Structure 1
Amino acid sequence: MSQPVPPPGNPFAEGAVPPAPFVPPPPARNNVGLGLAAALGAALVAAGVYGGIVGAIEREIGFLAIGVGYLVGLAAGKVGGPNPALPAAAAALSLGAVYVGQLFGLAILIGKEVGVGTTEVLLDHFGLLTEAWKEDADPMSFLFFAIAAFAAFSGAKKAAS
């Protein structure tokens, strides 16, 4: 024996039309300005994290440069969409993020060695800091730039598709 099937809908709402389900609007895509802003924000955060880790462990790690680049590219592609200018902009921003991260890490190391704060090294002795970076830079430092730029470019392309 089969049981009776209840009528569809709310039996207490006579004649009421059920509301349509909420459908969120699609995310804003192909917005170059918003994509660049997201990539810049990601680059600043990634540079700080990269520099902090470099300063803490006192060496550079290539995987971190990949992470910096991919994070910048991901932010640009996800927020900005498939605009062809965004992968190149993400690559350029990742170069800057790795450079700033290396400077920040070097400032941490110099601050520890000299006994002053990192902020003082960055603000009061920036010229000496950049000179120290130039002396410390080796082919691996520039390889990290290339790795980060490639990761940003490919990350932006993948995130936009």
Structure 2
Amino acid sequence: MSQSTPPSQPQPQPQPQPSDGNPYAAEQPSGGNPYAAQPPQGNPFAGQGQQPGFAPPAPPAPRRDNIALGIVAAVVVALVTAGIYGTIIGKTEYEIGYAAVAVGFLTGLAAGKIGGSNPALPVVSAILSLGAVYLGQLIGMAVWAADETGLSLTTIFFDNFNVLTSGWKEEADVMTFLFLAFGAFAAFSGAKKAAA
């Protein structure tokens, strides 16, 4: 029987080593910085006073200035918050100043956020807030009357609207008008802050 010798495997060839012992030094140009000789990629401003690899700052967001959309948003929020405010008044039988402020602030906030920085929006928001607080007070009277009489809220509000407004005039006092003013001021401020 003859003995076979395993095939000889190729021996790895020694790679040239730099004198400092770093096997990657030969691959790195410019004293060990692998990116030094590479041109900046994807930067159209390279060579125009910009450092390579840094993009210019993003342009500012476009300013919103859509007064019609801001007014529509303010009207919707005014109506919704008037309904909530009226329900609170009707169920508690108290006018709550913070609720009137919330009605105004949310109305102004919606106008400013959606409509932008148009100078008419804070004024329109304040006027809408006056209407919303007034409407909320009427709704509150209607909710209270519906609970007392057993009639539906819609019947009292729509069929007897003149009775509600007469009752509001009789019941109105200094606090009633103060709440209207608080709501209008909050709407004006909310629109200014939201648009800033």
Q: Where on the TM-score scale, by shorter chain, does this alignment land: which range? A: 0.7 to 0.9
Q: Residues of 2 paired with 1:81 and 1:114: CA distance?
A: 45
User: Residue 110 of structure 1: CA displacement?
Assistant: 1.2
**Secondary structure in 1 aligned to 2:95?**
coil
Query: For residue 87 of structure 1, what is the aligned residue in structure 2?
Result: 122
Amino acid at match of 1:62: G
Q: Residues of 1 paired with 2:151 and 2:161: CA distance?
A: 14
User: Residue 28 of structure 1: CA displacement?
Assistant: 6.9
Amino acid at match of 1:86: L
Counterparts in 2 of 1:45 and 1:28: CA distance versus 1, 3 Å: farther
User: Residue 84 of structure 1: CA displacement?
Assistant: 0.2
**Secondary structure in 2 aligned to 1:59?**
coil
User: Residue 95 of structure 1: CA displacement?
Assistant: 0.3
User: Residue 151 of structure 1: CA displacement?
Assistant: 0.3
Higher helix fraction: Structure 1 or Structure 2?
1
Superposition TM-score, scaled by structure 1 size: 0.82
1:58 corresponds to 2:93: yes
Q: Residues of 2 paired with 1:72 and 1:84: CA distance?
A: 15
Superposition TM-score, scaled by structure 2 size: 0.68
Compare relative contact order (CA 8 Å, sep 6+) and give the higher one, 1 or 2: 1
Query: For residue 127 of structure 1, what is the aligned residue in structure 2?
Result: 162
User: Residue 113 of structure 1: CA displacement?
Assistant: 1.6
Q: Matched residues, percent identical?
A: 58
- Aligned to 2:134, which of 84, 99, 118? 99
Moved beyond 2 Å, runs of 4+: none
